[in-house]
Amino acid sequence: MTTETATEKREYEVMLLASQAAAATLGELLDHINEVFTRADAEVISMRKWDERRLAYEIDKQKRGVYFLAYVMCSPEQVAHIERDVTISGQLLRVLITKADHLTREEMDANEGRQALADEAKMKGSEAAQTEASTSRARIGAPVQPAAEAAPEGDAATAEAPAVSEPAAEAEAKPEAPADA
């Protein structure tokens, strides 16, 4: 005969610290945080981005970090699982979990900011895509065109000139260092 003890779930306040590099891809970071809570069988009551600050001391060579505040409901046994998952995570630097007995459910619900986080993640994602698209087309110097396109049909002098590649043109433009130095 087996007896299962039903552990009651409690409300916890969870403060997460993420690196700035991880926060740059906010959508992926939020998915990772939700995965940590899902694996611990924790129900997220509310979550929001709290602040971005300079750290008092470097953590994993990071000088700045982004704090997230979440209120979750889970069993006391699962708190250790959340802490372990954060410890082995490459995106999250630290976690602090305390009981939220001092708050009412309404106060926890007032900290709801998941929609604002989703909007910010969507905005950062579109900005990153625009930046990537603009930098992929950027070139230094004048564009190099094939000789057939560059010269008009009747202009034989320019049509016979060899096309200079960009690296060769840059090498010609750089002054040489003196031999004495």
For the stretch 43-62, pLDDT in tens is 999 999 999 999 999 988 88
DSSP characters over 122-145: HHHHHHHHHHHHHHHH--SSSPP-
What was the pLDDT predicted at 111? 86
Does the pLDDT at position 153 exceed 90? no
Most confident of 106-120, 127-141, 150-164: 106-120
Total Cβ atoms within 10 A of residue 40:
19
pLDDT, position 138: 54
The domain 10-128: what is its CATH number? 3.30.70.60
Taking all residues of the chain, what is their mean pLDDT, rounded to a whole number? 80
